[in-house]
Amino acid sequence: MPLEKISQVSGSAVYVPGDDIDTDRIIPARFMKCLTFDGLGEYLFYDMKFHENGDQKEHPLNDSRYQNASVMVTGMNFGCGSSREHAPQSLYRAGFRAVIAGNFAEIFFGNSINLGMPCVSVSNDVRNSIAEWVGENHSGQVLVDIKDLKVRAGDHSFTCDLRPGARDSLLNGAWDPLDELLEANQAIENINGGLAYT
């Protein structure tokens, strides 16, 4: 089945402030005891959202005004730490389809693109402007334009950045590389046979 060509993502947004938000915060390790990714949306940012007794903490994701958000806006070095794909999976399964951040940790970024979830980087000023706009327009639509590398919110248009390879793979519907990898059958066999080790 051909993959969807992703040239833009739009939806209401939520701002989750903070730099260096790590993968343990996005999905605490105890929720990774699972054989499928299916239920992970429920545990997104769990310990940020709930006290140990189960009571809700004050957190943007607990704010009813942002319940339908599908675009997350956040700080620098988002997704640092573990290689667990459980982190982007939990975002995706909680309904998020794009992340706007200062920048991203490498493995998290790759894992997200693999799911067809664009991660675009913006300057601090742009991030603050988007966050401010989102705070005033809770259900306003934020559009992440992969083609033009713009984030549009109301009358505003901001520049964002996405690595060319990742951008192309989203635009061309090639964000999951498996089919293309499988095609290189003979070339794979050549490397396999030519290596000094088995």
Partner 1 sequence: MTKQNLFEKVWDAHAVGKLQNGQTQLFVGRHLIHEVTSPQAFGMLREKNLPVRYPERTFATVDHIVPTNETQEPYSDPLADAMIKDLRKNCDDFGVTFFDTDTGKQGIVHVVGPEQGLTQPGMTIACGDSHTSTHGAFGAIAFGIGTSQVRDLLATQTMALGKLKVRRIEVNGTLNAGIYAKDVILHIIKLLGVNGGTGYAYEYAGDVFDSFSMEERMTACNMSIEGGARAGYVNPDAKTYSYLKGRPYSPKEEDWDDAVSKWESFRSDEGCHYDDVVKIDAADIGPTVTWGINPSQAIGIDESIPDPEKVEIQDRSSIEEAIEYMKISPGAPIKGTPIDVAFIGSCTNGRISDLEEVASQLNGHKVKEGIKAIVVPGSQVVSKLAEEKGLDKIFRDAGFEWRFAGCSMCLAMNPDKLIGDQLCASSSNRNFKGRQGSPTGRTMLMSPTMVAAAAITGVITDSREVFSA
Residues in contact with partner 1 by the rule CB under 8 A: 18-20, 22, 24-25, 28-30, 32-37, 47, 52, 76-77, 80-86, 88-89, 103, 105-107, 110-111, 114-115, 163-166, 168-169, 172, 174, 176-178, 180-182, 184, 187-188, 191-192, 195-198
Question: To the nearest whole angstrom, how small is the minimum distance from the Cβ of residue 106 to partner 1?
Answer: 5
Q: Give CA–CA dist 158/151, Å, rounded.
A: 5
Q: Which of 108/158 has CB closer to partner 1?
A: 108
Q: Give CA–CA dist 41/27, Å, rounded.
A: 9
Question: To the nearest whole angstrom, how small is the minimum distance from the Cβ of residue 63 to partner 1?
Answer: 20
Question: To the nearest whole angstrom, how small is the minimum distance from the Cβ of residue 144 to partner 1?
Answer: 18
Q: Which of 38/140 has CB closer to partner 1?
A: 38
Question: To the nearest whole angstrom, how small is the minimum distance from the Cβ of residue 5 to partner 1?
Answer: 13
Q: Which of 24/145 has CB closer to partner 1?
A: 24
Q: Which of 12/84 has CB closer to partner 1?
A: 84
Q: Give CA–CA dist 26/18, Å, rounded.
A: 12
Question: To the nearest whole angstrom, how small is the minimum distance from the Cβ of residue 132 to partner 1?
Answer: 17
SS (H, E, C) the chain: CCCCCCCEEEEEEEEECCCCCEHHHHCCHHHHCCCCCHHHHHHCCHHHHECCCCCECCCHHHCHHHCCCCEEEECCCECECCCCCHHHHHHHHCCCCEEEECCECHHHHHHHHHCCCCEEECCHHHHHHHHHHHHHCCCCEEEEECCCCEEEECCEEEECECCHHHHHHHHCCCCCCHHHHHHCHHHHHHHHHHCCCC
Q: Which of 64/191 has CB closer to partner 1?
A: 191
Question: To the nearest whole angstrom, how small is the minimum distance from the Cβ of residue 166 to partner 1?
Answer: 7
Q: Which of 105/151 has CB closer to partner 1?
A: 105
